[in-house]
Structure 1
Amino acid sequence: MNSALKSHYSAAELSALQVEGLPTSKGKLIAKAERECWSFVETKGKGGTRREYSPPAEVLAAIRAQAAKKVAALSAPVLPIQREEQLPLIETEAQALKADARRGVLQALEMLMQRSGYPMKKAAAVLIDMARVGAANEQLVGMLKMARDERGRKSEDGLPSVRSVQRFVEYERAGMLAPKKRERDMSVPAWAPFFLGYYQRPEKPTVEHAYREFIKDWAQAQPGTEIPSVWQVRRFLAKVGNVSREIGRMGEHELKTLRPFIRRGFENLLPGDIYSADGHTFDAEVQHPLHGRPFRPEITTMVDIATRKAVGWSVGLAESAFAVLDALRDAAMKAGIPAVFYVDNGSGYKNEMMLDVATGFMARLGIEMVNSLPYNSQARGVIEKLHQTIWINAAKSLPGYIGWDMDREAKLATFKLSRKAIAQDQKTAAMPLMAWARFVAFCEERVAEYNDRPHRSLPKITDPATGRRRNMTPNEKWALHVAQGFEAHRVTDDEARPLFRPQMLRTVRRCEIELLGNRYFARPLEEFHGEQLRVGYDIHDPHIVWVYDDEGRFLCTAELDANKRDYMPKSVIDRAREKRATGREKRLEAKLVEVREELHGTPALEHSDTVTIPGFMSINREQLAQRARELQAMEVVAEPVVSKLAAQETATPAKEAAAWGVPSTPEARWAEWKRLNAMTEEDIDSEKARKWRHTYQATAEFRTYQRKSA
């Protein structure tokens, strides 16, 4: 409604004003106006003619008073902030200073013209002469020197000419008081894309190397065109943006370190809202828990994003889903179950045991797993920084540290010392590496120290002991949330046992369930034949599994080979160790065969018609055939002699058997085994040869030659 005061109002306008003493409905107001004989005028509108009334004086006074109250109640209008906008031509500070100096010179020129009555040219000459002889103040002289265009002819005193001052007036009228700045030629030469194909490569070649490769092909690709110099190439690269220049030389992962990023705030998060986890290969060697040899363990850590507290951790022989499960169990029992589990795309997280909709831990615990984008470790900077703070610094405090930043000579000395202890008797040798049990306790101590140390991303408080300002520790931040009413959903030890058992869907066949290579039996499963049930198992105990229906209702327990005997059970951990040991054994066997072949290998014989034995004889094919014919003739004559010799050999089998020995080379042993294998037990006279034929089959050398001959 228009708030301006008028002399005549329509019935609708008067009722809308809600003036005290007037009706608030249109009909009643018309009745009051006709009853009190208010004067009116008829006006034409879209709907026809209507009456506009002239209220009495007391009604008009009430309308004015009401309008005054509304105006007084309104706040003062908020004026837009006036900012000095830079002229489009002013791009640099030097241009702005020259524009201000010229503006000051023109003000002094105008003032001189007004007081002296000189024309512009005369006044400009007088102004410059006064500055030259020292009659002008220092500020005016400085403005004249600053206003001078350096592109013109140089003057000895640095003052502009009269014509230059007159141009200042023309510049001001045209709105171009700031001098123009010479810009770079940003056009892209025709050879530039061709050169970038040699420069923007993952090998990161230097400009010189890329230029040499470029000029070899540029003349052939564009014959008759001018070849740019290396300095032209360098000037072009200087014009390219720092990030665009590195495209192709750096991958997407590296380029993210140069591009803009988003900082994530965690002020509104509560403890347990988001847990982040990641695995880290420890940068120091410790003793293996099984054989005591040096190795680098894998540590999985979980951190609460809201408080930066390390809520759970696990240490194992390698990164796996079981290590992640153990760290999650530790966090759930100490700090509570999280709402979001923020991890990378590693196999320890993206697997059926974690993500299966029926048996996965995320579904059973009610956790939502969020995976970061590939090659985007910056998004999980909290857990990446925690590795540096806890584990890398912890590794540097141990004698077995072998990080990338360690001195090479010191690293080699540590390596030799630990391997020397392995070669000696470990009971008497001093092992410089930390034992496994002590290392686990060491990790626990480091995590506790981290949670009690001030964290720079947390708010600051006054230290009650020193009275100084410092950042809160993760434990203090967690305790603050607890004091404000936060309560974590922790898991007790009794709940953790069934809750953190991995589950798989398996089909029941005649009361049997096959799981991880083992077979489990329970008679109560008889009526579930052919159905698919959920089976929970303990990764450390293979003797029993727990069977649930599709709704999670416990049915029974099934025992390992309960309907079979004389079976050696193997747990998941034992199977993994055996598989790992078998793989290492095969790799070592292949390496051993390669070393022996390099040492004892014999070159292939070349084809020749003449066989020469140095120092003994030389015979060709014809001579060899003649020798064979002579031997055949001798065999006919020597048959009685041979029979006699055979009888002698039969009489002395023990003497011949004792003469048999194991060949000295791998090739000879393999050939001897094939010869003996083609014979029966009765044909082999030597007992030693018969035993060797069986024992040789169990050696790695035999398996190697057997694979080659297959």
Structure 2
Amino acid sequence: MREWFTVPELAELMLPDMPKTERGIHDMAIRQNWRGGSLCRKRERRGGGLEFHMSLLPHRAQVKLAAITSVDTAREESRERRKALYWTHWDAMTDDQRQICHARLHVIRTVDEAFALNRAIGRVETVEETLARELEPFGVSFSTYYDWRKALHDVDSEDWLPALAPKYFATGEVRGPKADIHPDAWAALKSDFLRPEKPGFSACYRRVEAAAKKHGWGRLPSERALRRRMDSEVDKVVQAYAREGAKKAEALYPPQVRTKDHLHAMELVNTDGHQIDLFVKVPWKPLKPVRLILLGIQDIFSGKILSWRLSEAETWDVVRACIGDMIEDFGIPKHFYMDNGRAFASQAISGGAKHRNRFRKAKVNRFSIDEEEVGGILKNFGVDPHFTRPYAGQSKPIERAWKDLAEEISKHPAMSGAYTGNKPDAKPENYRKRAIPLDVLQAHVAERIAEHNARTGRKSDTAKGRSFDQTFEESMAHPATIVTRATAAQRDFWLLAEKIVQVRKNRGEVHYLNNIYWSADLTAWCGKKVKIRFDPDKLHEPVKVYAPNGKLICEAACTQKGRFNDVEAANIHNRNRKAFLKLQKARADLHRVLSADQLADVYSAGEPAEPKQKKPVRSAVTRAFTGNLAVKAQSDVFSDDEFEAGLADALSSLSGDGSIIPFPTGNRPGGIASGRNRRTEK
């Protein structure tokens, strides 16, 4: 509600208990000192002046003013809502519907101009005659014209164009009114249609139609009407999310456009692996061809592939070697973008990174660094690692490069017959006709990547028609580009991997990958954790042992070599060993036809479940035993020594007091010494 008014506005309203002229209101304001308080302010509109708050007016004037302003405010708000609604409908119209509005407005304007002209020249004609003459060229009847004029009642002239929209569009529905359906039936139809199984709309309609007869939901509208309502009420994105998953709905969201003009070469690099769609013959599997992974590192500013490696699996030692090639050839980057794969997020590569969430202990906060975690290659060189979402082309531009190289490498005429297809249902006719030798593939990949970097006509914002090589070289030659080069001493950081191990308690040995390393200096570290640095390709050479604080302890020599002297061979051996054990287990299971329970049933067949216990045989008269219960029953046969000892004892008792029989002192009845003791003395 409006609360501030000028003197001319108050005079025009003719309020009770107020002067009716501007001069009178000015005098009233001077007498009551309206300008002396906070209820007076400068007018912000054009022309300036002063405005006064309505609380300065008499009570009856305030009541009348509040009633007037509330009605005007409601009318103005209604007018603004209708104006917004008209032009909202106009934006939702098609071009054909807008043409209809223009044609109707042209008829209205033509007739109005004719009436105005007749009044100007003084001609007196009836309305019917004028309408008949003016509407005849347009083919519009009297009733249609009156309907159009009725639609323009209480509508501002600037809003006539959208107000003349067809009636079927008056509610804002482009496709007409909604189909009338029972709420439960409509809920069932939407729930059935918006399922991950992606059922057809016709099948859903038939099921809901049968359910409507059972539950008394009434007659359903036609299938086409409900399909139109489904498309009108449920957005395409919602249908895609419910029926095809989040990835399909995410594809409908526009990607972020990232600029690279503010960067320079070797400031940001990114890495990823790509499985080559070729059958390759490798030395470690001569009878079965394999598919290799191409691991590469790309400069984000220029798009050049800086280094690459081929391997059967995406492991940390391959990533280490690829990073080493880049550092040795071009220098140390500032930022390194990669996904959170097992190889990139390993301790050897990104150990010590703040957001490295793989291979952490359960008790360690995921936003903190494990104190026992070794520093990886990137952190040791001061490179800041960044982990991105897998298959995110905006954050890893190398995935766009893999798309080009997949066409150039796998589908090249030199690789004909070895192409596997990029998915199971896209196998070529010459599938598995040939396998490419590993050395041939390495030369082919090197040639294709060199051509990829040297190809001109690149349309990126930084290349501008040049090649990736030219863009990279120009940026590297610019005085503002500062790239750190690795020293000879720093080469150990990418040539040597780091691992935390525990020294054995017995002789101070260090065990790693089937190898044993020992030095006399390690005896003081028995049972403690140390860091070792080693070359994964030369595990039989001495390793450097460091204390937890980084101080060098010694170089421990390899006293017992493993079966292989590099990590790749050790991994291959472990896989073959597991496959061998799995085969032996399967063979043993074939021979063990019966399980342990079945074998027990075979052996116990025909025997009673519990054997019967025989009752003990007892004599008719029972006599209590008065001797020593701990004395073991002895044989009736005495030795010569026992006989002589017994005879001497009897004679001694007869020569003494015969009425007193002494208690036996030995462990045999009637003897003072044990025969076992005598035998022991002998």
Common fold by TM > 0.5: yes
2:405 to 373, 377, 390: 390
- Structure 1 residues 45 and 529 mapped into 2: Cα distance closer, same or farther (>3 Å)? farther
Per-residue deviation, residues 293-352 of structure 1 (Å, max 9, x unmatched): 421111111112111111121111112122222222222222322222222221112222
Of 398-407 and 321-330, the range deviating more from structure 2: 398-407
**Number of the residue aligned with 1:283:** 277
CA distance in 2, matches of 1:408, 1:169: 63
Pairs within 5 Å for 1:303-318: 303-318=298-313
Please tell me the residue identity of whatever aligns with 1:371.
F
Which of 98, 112, 115 is the aligned partner of 1:113?
Answer: 115
Query: Which of residues 313, 320, 325 is equivalent to 1:330?
Result: 325
8 A contact 1:502–1:537 mirrored in 2:
yes
Residue 126 of structure 1 is matched in structure 2 by 130
Q: Distance in 2 between matches of 1:369 and 1:545?
A: 27
The alignment status of 1:179 with 2:179, answered yes or no, reads no
Asked if the contact 1:282/1:392 (under 8 Å) is kept, the reply is no
Q: 2:495 aligns with which of 469, 493, 500?
A: 500
Is the 1:89–1:176 Cα contact (8 Å) retained in structure 2?
A: no
Task: Report the Cα distance in structure 2 between the residues aligned to 1:121 and 1:326, rounded to whole angstroms.
Answer: 99
Q: Please give the alpha-carbon distance, in whole angstroms, between the structure 2 residues aligned to 1:448 and 1:523.
A: 51
The alignment of Structure 1 onto Structure 2 pairs a total of residues equal to 469
Most deviating of 476-485 and 547-556:
547-556
C-alpha contact 1:520 1:558 (8 A) present in aligned 2: yes
How far apart, in 2, do the equivalents of 1:210 and 1:528 lie? Answer: 73
**What displacement does 1:386 show?**
1.2
The answer on 1:481 being equivalent to 2:475 is yes
Is 1:364 the counterpart of 2:368? The answer is no
Query: 2:6 corresponds to which residue?
Result: none
Code of the residue aligned with 2:411 in structure 1: it is K
Greater Cα shift, 199-208 or 224-233: 224-233
2:291 to 282, 296, 317: 296
Partner amino acid, structure 2, of 1:203: E
1:192 equivalent to 2:207? Answer no
Where 2:397 maps in the other structure, the secondary structure is: helix
Q: Partner amino acid for 2:268?
A: I
3-state DSSP class of the match of 2:202? helix
- CA gap 1:471/1:167 in 2 versus in 1, 3 angstroms: same
Match runs of 1:285-684 below 5 Å = 285-292=279-286, 293-357=288-352, 358-373=374-389, 377-380=392-395, 382-397=397-412, 398-399=415-416, 400-404=418-422, 410-411=428-429, 413-415=430-432, 417=433, 432-454=434-456, 456-459=458-461, 471-485=465-479, 486-491=481-486, 495-509=490-504, 510-543=507-540, 544-561=542-559, 570-586=565-581
**Aligned partners of 1:566, 1:309: CA distance in 2, in Å?**
41
Would you say the 8 A contact 2:261–2:461 is kept in 1? no
Distance 1:295 1:169, change over 3 A: closer
In structure 2, the CA distance between the partners of 1:129 and 1:553, relative to structure 1 (3 Å rule), is same
Could you say what secondary structure the match of 1:190 adopts? helix
Deviation for aligned residue 1:576: 0.9
* Matched-pair identity in %: 20
TM-score between both structures, scaled by the size of structure 2 = 0.60
CA distance in 1, matches of 2:411, 2:428: 13
Larger deviation, residues 224-233 vs 389-398: 224-233
Question: Does the CA-based 8 Å contact 1:125-1:162 persist in structure 2?
Answer: no
C-alpha deviation, 1:393, in angstroms: 2.9
Amino acid across the alignment from 1:368: D
Classify 1:569/1:330 alpha carbon distance in 2 versus 1 (closer, same or farther; 3 Å).
Answer: closer
- Match of 1:489, SS state, is coil
Structure 2 residue 220 is matched with structure 1 residue 235: no
Query: What secondary structure is seen at the aligned counterpart in 2 of 1:314?
Result: strand
C-alpha change, 1:309 and 1:243, in structure 2 (3 Å) is same
**Cα pair 1:333 1:492 within 8 Å, conserved:** no
Partner Cα distance (2:379, 2:99) in 1: 68
1:184-215 CA-to-partner distances (Å, cap 9, x unmatched) read 44588432332333333333222234445556
1:353·1:359 contact (CA, 8 Å) conserved in 2? yes
* In 1: Cα distance, 2:443 partner to 2:335 partner: 29
- Closer/same/farther in 2, CA of residues 323 and 217 from structure 1, 3 Å limit: farther
Question: Aligned pair in 2 of structure 1 residues 123, 101: CA closer, same or farther (>3 Å)?
Answer: farther
Q: Report how far residue 264 of structure 1 moved.
A: 1.9
Shift of 1:385: 1.4
User: 1:636 is matched with which residue?
Assistant: none
CA-to-aligned-CA distance 1:437-492 (integer Å, 9 cap, x gap): 1211211111111111236452488xxxxxxxx62221121122123221322336
In structure 2, do the counterparts of structure 1 residues 335 and 251 end up closer, same or farther at CA, with 3 Å as the change threshold? Answer: farther
Deviation per CA, 1:139-164: give whole Å up to 9, x if none: xx5xx56xx6xxxxxx6xxx986645
CA contact (8 A) 2:278 2:420 kept: yes
- Taking structure 1 as the reference length, the TM-score comes to 0.58
1:173–1:359 distance in 2 versus 1, CA, 3 Å: closer
Give yes or no for contact 1:121–1:166 (8 Å, CA) kept in 2.
no
> Structure 1 CA distance, aligned partners of 2:184 and 2:339?
44
Q: Deviations over 1:612-652 (max 9, x none)?
A: xxxxxxxxxxxxxxxxxxxxxxxxxxxxxxxxxxxxxxxxx
Look up the match of 1:225. 217
Q: Distance in 2 between matches of 1:385 and 1:595?
A: 51
Cα displacement string for residues 383-409 of structure 1 (whole angstroms, at most 9, x for unaligned residues): 221111113431011120011379967
Name the CA distance, whole Å, in 1 between partners of 2:193 and 2:152. 51
Can you list the C-alpha shifts for 1:369-396, whole angstroms capped at 9, x where unaligned?
A: 22223x6534445122111111343101
For the 8 Å contact 1:302–1:310, the answer to whether it is kept is: yes
